[in-house]
Amino acid sequence: MGTIGRQSGRAVGIQRLTNPVNISLSGDASGSVSFDGSQNVSVPLVLSSSQSFSGTLSANNLIVSTSASFPKNSTINSIVIADATNFFQKPNGTSSPLFSKVSAYQLSIPVGFKCIVNNTIVTVTSLVTLTLNSTGVSGLDTGTKTAGTDYYVYALDSGSFIISANVSYPFGYNASNSRKIGGFHYGLIPESFTAVNNITSTDATTIAGINAYSFWVSEV
């Protein structure tokens, strides 16, 4: 961890860890969070199944299994009763698409989306924009975009997202530290396509490059 020292009579701030550490909890409740020393962190807590609690329980955004029970005087905000291993919560309603098209090569994930990856609750706190025009986190896992390709969107246990043409998991990751949350088709219609004949401007924008009609989600 960075050190606190003095230089010319002024305090030197704490520096980020060169290699962030992962803090994990286990037992009757589990959770994990990455910590790099730059700011305080909170560990999202997932209660194990078949747990009973006595006394007073206060919590926010609690995720529990269906077999957990709580004392009568508990105060719990935004409780979600779910299979913790498959927890998936869309902020825009169960019947609405999770993704929104930003441009012919970009899509976004809205604030409030939550899911569990590798026992870590991934929460979108600011709009996430993914692009086919770059590689790495928030882009393609490898290679370059190819017209006529089905792409998949994965949430990572680091809290980030990535796009891949691999149906199982992204390049450089595995089935444990990534989770497929949906996908889309990048079509043969050019990104520069515009309204023509009976195709309206709105339809042209929808189908050029990323076909917004093809968005789908995977909640398991």
210 and 115 in one domain? yes
Alpha helices in the chain (DSSP H): 201-207
Paired strand residues for 10? 7
Within 8 A by CB and 6+ apart from 136, the residues are 162
Average pLDDT value for the chain: 80
CA 72 to chain centre: 33
Sheet holding 106-109, edge to edge: 100-103, 106-109, 128-131
Sheet holding 21-25, edge to edge: 21-25, 29-35, 46-47, 63-64, 80-81
140 and 180 in one domain? yes
209 and 123 in one domain? yes
Number of domains in the chain: 2
This prediction's pTM: 0.67
Please give the Cα distance from 79 to 62 (Å, whole number). 5
Neighbours of 91 (CB within 10 A): 13
135 and 65 in one domain? no
103 and 93 in one domain? yes
- pLDDT for 36 equals 78
71 and 122 in one domain? no
Least confident of 18-22, 39-43, 209-213: 39-43
124 and 94 in one domain? yes
- pLDDT for 25 equals 74
Least confident of 60-64, 75-79, 124-128, 170-174: 75-79
Final residue of a structural domain among 70, 86, 102: 86
Q: What are phi and psi of 70, to 5 degrees?
A: -135, 155
User: CA separation (Å) from 7 to 12, 13, 15, 107, 200?
Assistant: 7, 11, 15, 46, 64
pLDDT tens-digit series, residues 116-135: 898 888 999 999 999 999 99
Given a contact cutoff of 8 angstroms between Cβ atoms, the answer to whether 53 and 74 are in contact is yes
- pLDDT for 220 equals 72
| Tokens standing for residue 27 | 């037992």
Final residue of a structural domain among 57, 86, 115: 86
Q: What is the DSSP letter of 85?
A: G
The range of the structural domain enclosing residue 129 comes to 88-217
Final residue of a structural domain among 38, 55, 86: 86
128 and 168 in one domain? yes
